[in-house]
């Protein structure tokens, strides 16, 4: 039941070890002219790794993170780390922000600045991510995490709260809403057409419900096929062999950097802060959470613990929106719905002001 203050304080030998490992990276060769068609280009990653080693300032990033009140508590045998940024307005609605993969709580720092006057912001680290480590047993799926979030909000003394998430965080947010509708004011999630198409490939019978002769459905089917042919390997490895992949992620900072940076490059449409990306990667590296984060996806794939559908008000923000978005997401009647032409999978970093405006609009009606 204890909630204890937490400060990020990475030992200097660990910081020095990172610089040493980056300097001794054994780089692979690369075929000429292949660009991005076979993975992350060598030149791109070498330049980013060089900046991580010599330009990026971890201690400055650490100080920025420590500007937010942080805590840890144990729930269901698992250490849970979270930020808790209270609004100056005592009557503000509490709002839980849940990150996805491959990300961390640091994804939301710009968004927190946009929201902190209007909400009491709670940002937990998913089990197995960053400082919500180590994970000592199997079974930490979205559903179990949702139950931990419910307990966390109870411990914080909040009997009514809102939820927001994207990627895995959207699943957790939806599961919390389904389990704790008595206390949840509403749930808001973000997506983009490519993520929606990828998600649709896992919904039984979804392809059969789309009409290939309809131009919108044809585009959706093409994107689903593209995901299966070109992008599903990233997820398939984690869903089947996370431990094997963990040896690479835990021993090579260049490997951990490449694994995350490719996802950001392929899943963003607007510029994002390179230092913020490296803070996220650094959190994975310093906590050794690459393998435990990947295991979270394995657990979900094998447990299929999705929980009950939410019955509370729902809101959706679609970034990089096009004609397929509403068809693939299938929002319930009367749901809050906004579409934005730019931005994609990480809107809290790509378009924090736009996302904050949507959150204020949706939850403002529910406050």
Give the confidence band of 234 by pLDDT, cuts at 50, 70, 90. Answer: confident
Global confidence as pTM: 0.97
Q: Tell the residue number behind the tokens 């054994």, with chain if given.
A: 26
Neighbours of 296 (CB within 10 A): 23
Q: Is 157 left (phi over 0), alpha (psi -120 to 50) or beta?
A: left
Q: Quickly state the pLDDT bin for 12 (edges 50, 70, 90).
A: very high
Domains of the chain (ranges; CATH) run 3-23+35-364 (3.40.50.1820)
pLDDT tens-digit readout, 70-103: 999 999 999 999 999 999 999 999 999 999 999 9
Q: State the average pLDDT over residues 28-53.
A: 96
Contact present, 262 and 37 (Cβ < 8 Å): no
Mean pLDDT, residues 120-144 taken together: 97
Rounded mean pLDDT, 307-328: 93
Handedness of CA 350, 63, 104, 18 (dihedral sign): positive
């Amino acid at each position: 039941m204890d909630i204890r203050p937490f400060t990020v304080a990475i030992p200097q030998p660990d910081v020095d070890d990172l610089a040493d490992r980056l300097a001794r990276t054994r780089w692979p060769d690369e075929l000429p002219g292949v660009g991005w068609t076979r993975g992350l280009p060598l030149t791109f990653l070498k330049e980013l790794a060089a900046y991580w080693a010599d330009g990026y300032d971890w201690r400055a990033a650490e100080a920025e993170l420590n500007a937010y009140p942080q805590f840890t508590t144990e729930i269901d045998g698992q250490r849970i780390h979270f930020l808790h940024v209270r609004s100056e307005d005592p009557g503000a609605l509490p709002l839980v922000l849940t990150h996805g993969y491959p990300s961390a709580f640091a994804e939301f720092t710009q968004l927190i600045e946009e929201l902190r006057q209007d909400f009491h912001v709670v940002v937990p680290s998913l089990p197995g991510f960053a400082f919500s480590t180590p994970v000592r047993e199997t079974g930490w799926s979205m559903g179990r995490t949702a139950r931990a979030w419910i307990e966390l909000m109870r411990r914080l003394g909040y009997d009514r709260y809102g939820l927001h998430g994207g990627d895995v965080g959207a699943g957790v947010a939806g599961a919390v809403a389904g389990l704790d509708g008595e206390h949840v004011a509403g749930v808001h999630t973000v997506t983009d057409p490519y993520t929606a198409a990828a998600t649709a490939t896992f919904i039984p019978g979804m392809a059969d419900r789309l009409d290939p002769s309809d131009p919108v459905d044809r585009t959706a089917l093409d994107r689903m096929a593209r995901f299966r042919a070109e992008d599903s390997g990233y997820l398939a490895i984690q869903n089947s062999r996370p431990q094997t992949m963990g040896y690479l992620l835990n021993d090579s900072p260049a490997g951990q950097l490449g694994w995350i940076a490719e996802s950001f490059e392929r899943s963003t449409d607007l510029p994002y802060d390179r230092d913020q990306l490296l803070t996220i990667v650094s959190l994975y590296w310093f906590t050794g959470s690459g393998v435990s984060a990947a295991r979270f996806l394995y657990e979900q794939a094998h447990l299929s613990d999705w929980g009950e559908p939410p019955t509370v008000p729902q809101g959706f923000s679609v970034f990089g929106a096009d004609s397929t978005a509403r068809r693939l997401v299938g929002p319930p009647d009367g749901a809050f719905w906004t579409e934005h032409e730019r931005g994609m999978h990480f809107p809290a970093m790509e378009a924090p002001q736009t996302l904050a405006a949507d959150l204020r609009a949706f939850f403002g009606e529910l406050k």
